[in-house]
Amino acid sequence: MSDSTSTPRPAASPDSAATPATASKLRLGALTALVVGSMVGGGIFSLPQNMAVSADAGAVLIGWAITAVGMLMLAFVFQTLAMRKPELDGGVYAFAKAGFGDYMGFGSAWGYWISAWLGNVGYFVLLFSTLGYFFPIFGEGNTPVAIICASVLLWALHFLVLRGIREAAFVNLITTIAKMVPLCVFIVICAFAFRAGIFMTDFWGQLNPKLGSVTNQVRNMMLVTVWVFIGIEGASIFSARAEKRSDVGKATVIGFVGVLLLLVLVNVLSLGVLTQPRLATLQNPSMAGVLENVVGHWGAILISVGLVVSLAGALLSWVLLCAEIIFSAARDHTMPNFLRKENARHVPANALWLTNGMVQIFLVITLFSKGTYLSLIYLATSMILLPYFWSAAYALLLAARGETYEGNPGERNKDLVIAAIAVVYAVWLIYAGGLKYVLLSALLYAPGVVLFARAKRESGQPVFTPIEKLVFAAVLLGALLAAFGLYKGFLTL
């Protein structure tokens, strides 16, 4: 889940007060920092335990190899689309809308928005789970006291944002240091503490029947790997502000490679410090437990304090960014007009109320369902899989048609292969998530039709095309099955 430490307003429409011509431009360094900051969030601090729950060392290496290829292809897709479709400045939902129609575009915006605020719910749980290391009353971040405190913090941030308060430069600096310094310290110390014997213990996880086969282990870890890469599309979302259009793609690829290296080091080095069964039982942020095992109590304090400061600063950005996602979609009439409303301080007020209202509802659901950070990130990740799929499918469509490739067959063939691999990877991710998360995603996608229908009526257009009716029927069927499963108890959040 991205938690960028700054939130420039997207400027992709004449309806916006700011335009690329009048707004400050982002250079390659700033765009790369946006991508890196978007991907390096709370997820990496919990990565050792999150991965160990599903897989041992051998499967982890295979899983990261698949992720590296698949996510790199997605990065190339965003790079290609940024160059070949410069008029599409709305991020992943704009690609879906351009390639496959209004409902698929709306679905991508809706899914991306839900993924973002569900990620915020997960961050609140992780924040108070971290505080639970010092104050046991917070437990794993889902106790009554933790939920009450998280709710107070949520609405404090809400009213601060309504007043137009954003992160200042020194907060940006503090949160960046808070994230990077503990991570670098962790990698250096664990590199010296790494033991090949520990790493090779039950390398394929065959002594733990709960893990299953290597194939199952790889499949089960996939949602975690996607979660920590959410934000790879960050540069494309703000492409209208790029000083050079070509820098959008460069920033995406550079940011991806750097973050991949960081994530793999944290994950693999942890498996050489503690065995998989021990890692799987650590409380999150599990990096704290790993470092404490090596250097003592101060290591856990370093990681925990760094994460608390990082999350506290990031939440301010993400509370606003969640609202910006549907505010931006409303400006091109993908969402209803009421979500375009700004207050006197140019904050998207209605979008903000809707977003934080949903965060509050799910915080309460987390209390009663005892939802953990891991279950929340699985659900948040499942919601972003379709937006990623539609982006890859649009790139494949452009290459297959030869659109924008006139007179350049070599480039077209290369992009055709890249987009095809990205589509296969996106389909694999949906399969890896499993039927449970497909159904739960459908349950969250289905209610969006109310806003979609309203936006269509405001534009004087019919709600669905014939093909979109079939798509919605499938979504509705999945939602009904999910609701029945939750009622009967064979599905849980």
- Three-class SS of 226-268: HHCCCCCCHHHHCHHHECCHHHHHHHHHHHHHHHHHHHHHHHH
Residue 313 pLDDT grade (very low, low, confident, very high; cuts 50, 70, 90)? low
Cis peptide before 285 (omega within 30 of 0): yes
Residue 464 has pLDDT above 90, yes or no: yes
Residue 21 has pLDDT above 80, yes or no: no
For 132-168, where are the alpha helices, taking DSSP H only? 144-162
Q: Show the tokens assigned to 215.
A: 């194939």
pLDDT number for residue 238: 58
Nearest to 288 by CA among 272, 300, 302: 300
CB under 8 Å to 434, separation ≥6 — which residues? 219
How far apart CA 364 and CA 154 sit, in angstroms, is: 13
Residue 171 pLDDT grade (very low, low, confident, very high; cuts 50, 70, 90)? low
φ, ψ of residue 26 to 5 degrees: the values are: -100, 125
Taking the model in full, what pTM does it have?
A: 0.84
How far apart CA 202 and CA 300 sit, in angstroms, is: 27
Residue 86 pLDDT grade (very low, low, confident, very high; cuts 50, 70, 90)? confident
Contact yes or no for 232/256 (Cβ under 8 A): yes
H/E stretch holding 332 reads none
pLDDT tens digit sequence for 40-79: 777 889 899 999 999 999 999 999 999 999 999 998 898 8
pLDDT number for residue 19: 41
Residues in the chain: 493
Nearest to 125 by CA among 379, 473, 439, 492: 379
CB under 8 Å to 52, separation ≥6 — which residues? 270, 271, 276, 277, 279, 280, 282, 286
CB count, 10 Å around CB of 469?
Answer: 11
pLDDT number for residue 368: 81
What is the domain class of 28-433 according to CATH?
A: mainly alpha
pLDDT tens digit sequence for 262-290: 999 999 999 999 999 999 999 888 999 99
Residue 337 has pLDDT above 90, yes or no: yes
CB under 8 Å to 131, separation ≥6 — which residues? 138, 141, 146, 308
How far apart CA 271 and CA 56 sit, in angstroms, is: 8
Nearest to 37 by CA among 282, 433, 318, 338: 318
Q: Show the tokens assigned to 218.
A: 């790889």
Contact yes or no for 256/230 (Cβ under 8 A): no
Domain ranges of the chain: 28-433
Nearest to 176 by CA among 30, 381, 319: 30
